[in-house]
Amino acid sequence: MTTPPQALRIDIVSDVVCPWCIIGYRQLATALQATGTPHEVHWHPFELNPDMPPEGQNLRDHVAEKYGTTREQSEDSRARLTAIGAELGFAFRFADDMRMHNTFNVHQLLHWADQQGRMHDLEQALFTAHFTHRRDLSDLGVLADVAAEVGLARAEALAVLQDQRFASAVRAAESAWLNQGIRGVPAVIFNRRHLVSGAQGVENYTRILEQLAAGDN
Q: What 3-state class would DSSP assign to 189?
A: strand
pTM: 0.94
pLDDT the model gives residue 4: 58
Rg (Cα) of the chain, in Å, rounded?
A: 18
- Whether the CB-CB separation of 137 and 17 falls below 8 Å is answered with yes
Flag whether pLDDT at 217 surpasses 60: no
For position 147, what pLDDT does the model report? 98
Q: What average pLDDT score do residues 185-197 get? A: 96
Q: How far is CA 57 from CA 24, 117, 134, 183, in A?
A: 25, 32, 13, 22
Q: Which amino acid is at 214?
A: A
CA atoms within 13 A on the CB side of 85: 20
* Mean pLDDT computed over every residue of the chain: 94
Report the alpha-carbon distance of residue 213 to residue 217 in Å, rounded. Answer: 8
Mean pLDDT on 128-141? 96
Check pLDDT > 70 for residue 102: yes
**44 bridge partner residues:** 13
Say which CATH superfamily domain 8-53+102-213 falls into: Glutaredoxin (3.40.30.10)
> d(Cα 19, Cα 185) in Å, to the nearest integer?
10
Q: Which amino acid is at 70?
A: T
Return the percentage of the chain with pLDDT > 70, whole number. Answer: 97
